[in-house]
Copies of this chain bind each other. A is one copy, B any other.
Amino acid sequence: MAIRLTDVANEAGVSLATASRVLNGSARKPAAEISDRVRAAAEKLGYFPNAQAQALARASTKLVGLVVRDIADPYFSTIARGVQRGLGDSGTQLLLASTDSEPEREIEAVRSFMSQRTDAIILSGSRGLSEDAALLRLIGSYQENGGQVIVIGQPLASTGGIQIDNETTSENLAEELIRSGHRRFVVLAGDENLLTSRDRAQGFLRKLKRTGLSAVGVVHGAFSREGAYMAMSDFLRGRKSEEDAQQLCVFCVSDVMALGAIRAIRESGLRVPEDIAVVGFDDIPTLEDVTPGISTARLPLEEIGRWAGEMVLSHGEARKTVVAGTPVLRESTKLHAGNR
């Protein structure tokens, strides 16, 4: 049905080979007069190269797969935008898959991308604590066949990517908070099986310990807004009695969780930061519109995505980059006078 290169070649009165050479970047450039004729024919017929056929013949699709946990989560959508920016106008297309936090769906996504023979796969969802052997095997064979794997967050086996130093960042964040006067911390630690949440919580707790402090509480739950909402609600219910103690500071291992926690705090009739201070992690764009301004550890999310995209283009040989976040204290952790 669609116009094929053969049709264009006939229309222009040249061979298939010649048509191919003029329309697609070949090393050999046919004569100007012929080229024009072919281009005119292509234009006239409305020719579109069949990317599948090209991929088959060239053994290279210009496709890259991005797997995220949830594209509607600002953290991931910001990274996704960065990846697209990084890919720029290279003509590389982005294949998107969401896992909804289910490991099997991540494997499914990778499997699917492998079938599509994407040139690269960018994994931005958080790695699990115990690395799934099946995923590792999959990735290994993908790399053997020339596929590039870029992991955002934690390093995974022999893959390159952008590593986020969650532990150090959390330590710095804790330090900053302590310096600002906070002493009583609660950690909403998210999912204890996810590397990201574990590292962030551990870094924070370690700093506390080194300073001679210890957390008032460490609550686990889902690594999401809802998870934090529930965890925080539970926590608040559990300590109804002991009021007027010194102001509490709740460290959430992600901004999205901080938002959920704030919701829970408010619903229980308390105020942020007057009654309870809240800190997040990531500095997602959403924070710009939230009041009070939420303290957090700033990660250059869009840039991280952009780097990943650029790595794909440069065929970077498993380059690794490490980035750390910078603490940003805003109103949500302002120490309230009555609560010092």
Contact = CB atoms under 8 A, between A and B. Distances in A.
Contact of A71 (B48, B55, B80, B144): B80
A116 B61 CA distance: 10
A95 interface: yes
A141 B56 CA distance: 24
B93 A95 contact: yes
Q: Which of A111, A288, A289 has the most CB of B within 10 A?
A: A289
Given A72-B80, A146-B1, A48 B94 contact: no
Interface string A94-110: 11111000000000000
A74 interface: yes
A337 interface: no
Copies in the complex: 2
A263 B286 contact: no
A287 to B, nearest CB: 9
A50 interface: yes
A208 B261 CA distance: 40
A94 B93 contact: no
A77 to B, nearest CB: 4
A13 interface: no
Interface size class of A (residues with CB under 8 A): 35 or more
Interface in A137-155: 137, 141, 144-146
Interface string A250-271: 0000000001001100000000
Nearest to A262: B289
Interface string A110-124: 011011110000000
Contacts of A51: 115-117
A263 B288 contact: yes
B146 A50 contact: no
A200 B30 CA distance: 53
A77 B263 CA distance: 22
A37 interface: no
Nearest to A114: B48
Contacts of A224: none
A285 interface: yes
A70 interface: yes
Given A52-B52, A289-B263, A116 B93 contact: yes
Interface in A1-32: 1-2
A49 to B, nearest CB: 6
Interface string A43-61: 0001011111101100001
Nearest to A137: B46
B111 A84 contact: no
B117 A50 contact: yes
Q: Give 9 closest A-B pairs by Cβ, nearest first.
A: A72-B81, A77-B77, A52-B55, A51-B115, A259-B289, A52-B52, A51-B116, A96-B96, A72-B77
Interface of A: 1-2, 46, 48-53, 55-56, 61, 70-72, 74, 77-78, 80-81, 84, 91, 93-98, 111-112, 114-117, 137, 141, 144-146, 259, 262-263, 285-286, 288-291, 302
